[in-house]
Amino acid sequence: MSRKRIASHFARLAAILALFGALALVNSSWAISPADAADLLPVNGFLNDDGTLNLASAPHGTFDLRGWNVTLDAVRGPVLAPAGSGAHTPSAVGDWSALGSNGVGGGSLNYHVYALAVSGSDLYVGGLFTDVNNYGETLYAADYIAKWDGMNWSELGSGSSGNGSLNSYVYALAVSGSDLYVGGYFTNVNNSGTTLTAADYIAKWDGTNWSALGSGSSGDGSLNNYVYALAVSGTNLYVG
């Protein structure tokens, strides 16, 4: 092994040890004085798109992990994600961050987003995209709608052929309790092989299954054209 590669390995090892040293400090009862805090490295300046550390510059020092969650991946090593809210979160200093990646430096989504809704720590995303790519893994059932849990993308059910439950675009999302209401261009939602003929242009996801909202006299949906807007007031859902 060349001296350059040996030096690189030692630099990476030193940075990772410094990272976990900082983690131990954060989790201990010791307080960080303002002077010490000023010497800590901002970890968001050394992150790849997938949350792993980019140690190409061989940084020296201790990372500031306040406002970050750290998990250890057997292959990728330490993986970091924003911890939520607080004075030291990355968003508090005006930084942008990506929501996952396709594993080769690009985004997870391949087309437009038209609607967002938050439920607890989960973000639901709707639009024109298909086959979301979660760090190199293609989610074939994530067509037009997907969930981001802060670390990974996931599908909301699937159709009988392994594709998404929805067959066309999503333009509106609304959350009521644990239910997600979805509106758009789609018709006849496929719930794990069962076709919901009444789920035209609007449907409900309860975390496990899709369902229709009412039906027409012939068994088709209650609505006869596209949905562009949803709003919740108490237990009532308004649709436009």
Give residue-wise pLDDT tens across range 139-162: 999 999 999 998 899 999 999 888
131 & 73 share domain: no
> pLDDT tens, 19-55?
555 554 444 444 555 546 567 777 777 888 788 888 7
63 token code pair = 């990372």
**Residue 33 covered by a domain:** yes
Range of the domain at 143: 113-239
Give 166-225 pLDDT, tens digit per residue: 999 999 999 999 999 999 999 999 999 999 999 999 999 999 999 999 999 888 999 999
Residues 54 and 125 in one domain: no
Q: Is residue 62 part of a domain?
A: yes
- pTM for the full predicted model: 0.64
Joined tokens for residue 158: 């699937």
Coil, helix or strand at residue 27: helix
Residue 129 and residue 24 share a domain: no
